[in-house]
Amino acid sequence: MNKRLNKQPSTAGLRLGGDTLEVAAMTALLIGSIGLFSLLAPGFLTATNFGSMSMQLPELGLLSLAMLLPIISGGLNLSVTFTANIAGLMTAWLVQGLLAGMGILSVPMAIIAGLAVGAAAGFLIGVIVAYVGAHPILVSLGAMIFLQGVGEFLTRGGGMSGMPEVFQTIGSGSFLGIPIPMLIFLAAAAGLIYIMHFTRTGFSIYMLGSNPRATEYSGINVKRVLITVYTISGILAGLAGMVMLARFNSVRVGHGESYLLITVLACFLAGANPFGGFGRVLPLVLGLMSLQVIASGMNLMGASQHLATAVWGAFLIIVMALRMPFIKQS
Amino acid sequence: MGDIAIRARHVSKIFGQSRVLDDVEFELRRGEVLCLAGENGCGKSTLIKIINGVYTPEEGVELSFGDETLSAISPIEARNRGIHVIWQDLALFPHLTVAENIVFDDYVAKPWRPISYKDALTQSREIIQQFGLDLDPMARVEDLSIAHRQLVAICRVLRAGASIIFMDEPTASLTYKEVQTLLGITRSLAAKGISIVLVSHRLVEVLEVCQRVTVLRNGKLVGTYPTEGMTQARLSTLMTGLELEFTPRAETHKGAPVLELKNLSREGEFENVSFTLHRGEILGLTGLLGAGRTEIAHTIFGMTQPTSGQLLKEGQPLTLNSNRDAVHHRIAYLSEDRLNLGLVQNQSINMNTAVTVLPRLEKPRFFLSPQRIKALTVHWIEQLKTKVSDAELAVSSLSGGNQQRIALAKWLATEPEVLILDCPTIGVDVGAKAGIFDIIRNLADQGMAIILISDEAGEIWMNADRALVLRDGRIYSEVIPAETTEEALEAIINA
């Protein structure tokens, strides 16, 4: 990043113009991985494969977006996967029970209620982080175990399935050739980019992530910003819950649990600072796409899914190692 | 005296494209206290690092140590010749005891020998007694004050056989009394034949204790002068190359009252503080560290709430529940701790400038325009003549003086009527200080009411129309700088 010292003041967007390096790196990664598997994996460059990739990506994608915001604010939200489950449970329960007689109108209402549950879970974490001052890792770890326990208690370890047909339409339908879950993910990412770069909430989250005390001394309501961070995180996790519910036509507590640490990995892969203050949505989206390309490509080559996970881990280490010289210079 | 301890000639050092030191000559006598003065970046540290062997100088250098002349020196040779440097961070081991820190060099020199705590104790006691210091060898370093840690660092180099000690900004974070003690110790070390080089920003002290002062500017030697007959003003001029004025503000500029404190108290911090601040006035708030200066500022800025008494703005009682209320009422506060509280160091200059006025910039609601943020920064960078190459860079990339201008800009952007400046020139070069004083005076001339907090008598004397001296959380006396001398003000502060 040393080169930036000699750079002319950029005329593009504020922070959008700043970290071009991360975007360039992630784009190179994406193009590189697509190129590699086009050569190696038979059937990679087919519409079917791209369709199935964009079907699988949104769950992990939405959960990663839910993880990114707390990381930028200098924290972590370990409860994203179980928040998604609980939100899904709420929706499923309403659709099959309370709102069952209301016909088509029940679906949007149940979805809104599910997202509200996600928001509430995030809001509570935010309130505790802001007012008690406990470390977000501890608070969200507690919330994660709590939500897991509540969910397992309510479902007695089983699941709920058999959603109305609308959910299948959402889960496997497509619009203009793009699967609906992918559209939901892209819309969420676009919304998040807007919040982070064009609202004072986003501005405050970056400042707070670097130095909460100096931000408070500047007259920013740090507590309110923290609560907003975790509430948005909860809503995004809830959205992930909706997508999972629609895609599998069922909900089970523990579904997507293995995604948790991968969301953290994706955020760091995309250049988010583990100590807060830095991290952007666009590189994260590109990074997630690369991870999906690797997984699908290896799958087509007949490798086990577990091997793909191992490759992801190795990937993070390599990218970190390549990035270190730049971090040290700046 | 008179005997030469070190003479370095034709010292040059080039880093990349820039010539950090250019044919500098440096001479230190035995048993002398010498001051090495100059602004940040003038090459002081580089010179020290060449003499103690860390950096290799360019060709042509002559280093003579009385008997022998070398063209280069390694760190180990430097140590063997008794050259030691005490850096500002002291490099002590906080979890170890004083004794262990003092004898630590033995552990390094003879790593195979088992450690004897008894020997460590006796040997460090010897050193402490020999120089008549007030130190408990059993204490842990982390429990000591900065002043005492400094003594530990001194003992450590003495024990290692130091005959030439460089001290980098030793007085930077000490109180007045501690500074006096330290300077006393410096004198007694010199009396025992040890040569000492003090690197310091505080000119008053320098003139008091040193026999000679060597001034560097932009990597070149300005000269070496006896301190006898040297004034602070002349030394500043030598360091900066600028003629700086050292006079109090010409006349008092009182406008209408803006802010009034009526018997304001906050338990455990300050008691019955009353004063009225007028438009166009610079009110000095001074006193020793811990006298309650910053605490009063925090309460006026709404960060803490008073336990009794009243705060009035333009005659109206003011209740501030947070600093956001204070900003709303046009009160701004520049923190003394620029590193941790004043600025978000890792974030950009743009963001640091705009952070205080986000509601105003976010128009329409939910649209914070990057263009408007940049325009704001450009405006203030020009207004305050800040040297910024790219406002998207982290604020930490700026020098102390320019950082302080950004910290000022972010508060001036809120268009305050009352501006509280808590030690606005901390860690700022002499030259840049004058620039900041100019800004402050101009703001007051335009009608802003300013509270200037500082523990440097000179700063208050030069800028304030009126100075309140605090002691133990109470106003102890009121001084009009124009009617007194800087020395008299200094005496009142330290009385």
**B123: its two tokens:** 């040997």
Domain's final residue, options B180, B215, B240: B240
3-state helix, strand, coil in chain A (%, to 5): 75, 5, 20
Is residue B127 domain-shared with residue B218, that is, in the same domain?
Answer: yes
Which of A16, A197, A200 to mutate against chain B (most B CBs within 10 Å)? A200
B252 inside domain = no
Q: Which residue has the tokens 């003629």?
A: B243
Interface contact B348-A18, CB threshold 8 A: yes
The rounded distance, in Å, linking the Cα atoms of B455 and B426 is 10
Under 8 Å between Cβ of A234 and A121: yes
Burial of B48 (C-beta count, 10 Å sphere; 0-12/13-18/19+): buried
Is residue B390 domain-shared with residue B486, that is, in the same domain?
Answer: yes
Residues near B227 by beta carbon (within 8 Å), at least 6 away in sequence: B35, B206, B207, B210, B211, B212, B213
CA distance B258 to chain A (A): 21
B22-56 pLDDT, tens digit per residue, is 999 999 999 999 999 888 778 888 899 999 888 88
Interface contact B355-A199, CB threshold 8 A: no
B246 inside domain = no
Is residue B46 domain-shared with residue B90, that is, in the same domain?
Answer: yes
Task: Please tell me which residue of chain B has the smallest CA distance to A222.
Answer: B324
CB environment B310-332: b (16+ within 10 A), e (fewer): ebebeeeebebeebbebbebbbb
**A88: its two tokens:** 């899904």
DSSP structure string for A17-50? TTTHHHHHHHHHHHHHHHHHHHHHSTTTTSHHHH
Is residue B163 domain-shared with residue B272, that is, in the same domain?
Answer: no
> Which candidate from B327, B346, B392 shows the least CB-CB separation from A10?
B392
Interface contact B342-A220, CB threshold 8 A: no
CB environment B68-86: b (16+ within 10 A), e (fewer): eeeeebeeeebbebbbbbb
B61-84 pLDDT, tens digit per residue, is 888 887 788 888 888 889 888 999
Interface contact B410-A213, CB threshold 8 A: no
B247 inside domain = no
CA distance A116 to chain B (A): 22
Which of B333, B347, B361, B393 to mutate against chain A (most A CBs within 10 Å)? B347
CA-CA-CA-CA torsion sign (A297, A302, A304, A305): positive
Under 8 Å between Cβ of B41 and B19: no
C-alpha dihedral, A30 to A31 to A36 to A38, nearest 10°: 110
Is residue B182 domain-shared with residue B278, that is, in the same domain?
Answer: no
Tell me the CA distances in angstroms from B270 to A324, B128, B337, B423, one per residue in order: 49, 38, 20, 19
Is residue B293 domain-shared with residue B230, that is, in the same domain?
Answer: no
B251 inside domain = no
Domain's final residue, options B189, B215, B240: B240
Is residue B264 domain-shared with residue B211, that is, in the same domain?
Answer: no
Angle, helix A180-198 to helix A200-210, in steps of 10 degrees: 70
Is residue B297 domain-shared with residue B152, that is, in the same domain?
Answer: no
CA-CA-CA-CA torsion sign (B153, B155, B157, B163): positive
pLDDT < 70: residue spans in chain B: 1-2, 201-202, 244-246, 250-253
Residue A328's pLDDT is 55
Residue B1's pLDDT is 42
Contacts of A13 in chain B (CB under 8 A): 370
Per-residue pLDDT of chain A (330 residues; tens, 9 = 90+): 333 333 333 333 344 334 677 888 889 989 999 999 999 988 898 888 998 899 889 999 999 999 999 999 999 999 999 999 999 999 999 988 877 777 778 889 999 999 999 999 999 999 999 999 999 999 999 999 999 999 999 888 788 888 888 888 888 888 888 899 999 999 999 999 999 999 999 999 999 999 999 999 999 999 999 999 999 999 999 999 999 999 988 898 988 888 999 999 999 988 899 899 999 999 999 999 999 999 999 999 988 888 888 988 898 888 888 877 766 554
B221 inside domain = yes
Nearest to B488 by CA among B460, B452, B449, B451: B460
CA distance B193 to chain A (A): 44
Contacts of B364 in chain A (CB under 8 A): none
Task: Please name the helix (run of DSSP H) or strand (run of DSSP E) that holds residue A71, with its range, or none.
Answer: helix A47-72
Is residue B42 domain-shared with residue B184, that is, in the same domain?
Answer: yes
Ordered alpha helix ranges (H), B192-322? 203-209, 232-240, 293-300
In DSSP terms, B213 is beta-bridged to B35, B225
Angle, helix A80-96 to helix A136-155, in steps of 10 degrees: 30
Residue pairs between chains A and B whose CB atoms are closer than 8 Å: 102
**B492 by DSSP, 3-state: which?**
helix
Residue B487's pLDDT is 82
Ordered alpha helix ranges (H), A73-211? 80-96, 106-127, 136-155, 165-172, 180-198, 200-210
DSSP structure string for B211-227? SEEEEEETTEEEEEEES
Residue B251's pLDDT is 65
Under 8 Å between Cβ of B195 and B164: yes
Q: For B54, phi and psi rounded to 5 degrees?
A: -75, -45
> Which candidate from B333, B342, B344 shows the least CB-CB separation from A210?
B344
**B219: its two tokens:** 């990597």
Angle, helix A106-127 to helix A136-155, in steps of 10 degrees: 140
The rounded distance, in Å, linking the Cα atoms of B18 and B214 is 22
Interface contact A15-B348, CB threshold 8 A: yes
The rounded distance, in Å, linking the Cα atoms of B449 and B464 is 11
Q: For B115, phi and psi rounded to 5 degrees?
A: -85, 130
- Distance from the Cα of residue B181 to its chain's centroid: 18
Contacts of A4 in chain B (CB under 8 A): 390, 392-393
Domain's final residue, options B240, B268, B298: B240
In DSSP terms, B143 is beta-bridged to none
Interface contact A211-B344, CB threshold 8 A: yes
B74 inside domain = yes
Under 8 Å between Cβ of A202 and B354: no
Interface contact B393-A4, CB threshold 8 A: yes
Angle, helix B486-494 to helix B176-191, in steps of 10 degrees: 100
Is residue B197 domain-shared with residue B308, that is, in the same domain?
Answer: no
**B438: its two tokens:** 């100019």
Is residue B235 domain-shared with residue B335, that is, in the same domain?
Answer: no
- Residue B154 is part of a domain; what is its CATH number? 3.40.50.300
Residues near A236 by beta carbon (within 8 Å), at least 6 away in sequence: A62, A63, A65, A66, A69, A80, A118, A188, A192
DSSP structure string for B8-32? EEEEEEEETTEEEEEEEEEEEETT-
Tell me the CA distances in angstroms from A218 to A69, B358, B393, B449, one per residue in order: 21, 11, 19, 20
Burial of A266 (C-beta count, 10 Å sphere; 0-12/13-18/19+): buried
Residue A119 burial (CB count, 10 A)? 21
The rounded distance, in Å, linking the Cα atoms of A316 and A324 is 12
Q: Give the number of domains in chain B.
A: 2
Q: How many helices (H) and strands (E) does chain A have?
A: 13, 4
Q: For B348, phi and psi rounded to 5 degrees?
A: -75, 165
**A interface residues, B as partner, C-beta within 8 Å:** 4-5, 7-10, 13-18, 197-200, 202-204, 206-207, 210-211, 213-221, 277-278, 330
The rounded distance, in Å, linking the Cα atoms of B206 and B183 is 9
B397 inside domain = yes
Q: Which residue has the tokens 């009617």?
A: B483
Respond yes or no on whether ipTM tops 0.90.
no
pTM: 0.82
DSSP secondary structure code for residue B270 in this structure? E
The rounded distance, in Å, linking the Cα atoms of B443 and A182 is 56
Which residue range forms the structural domain that includes residue B73?
4-240
3-state helix, strand, coil in chain B (%, to 5): 35, 25, 35
Is residue B223 domain-shared with residue B96, that is, in the same domain?
Answer: yes
Which segments of B302-417 are extended strands (E)? 308-313, 316-317, 331-334
The rounded distance, in Å, linking the Cα atoms of B221 and B27 is 12
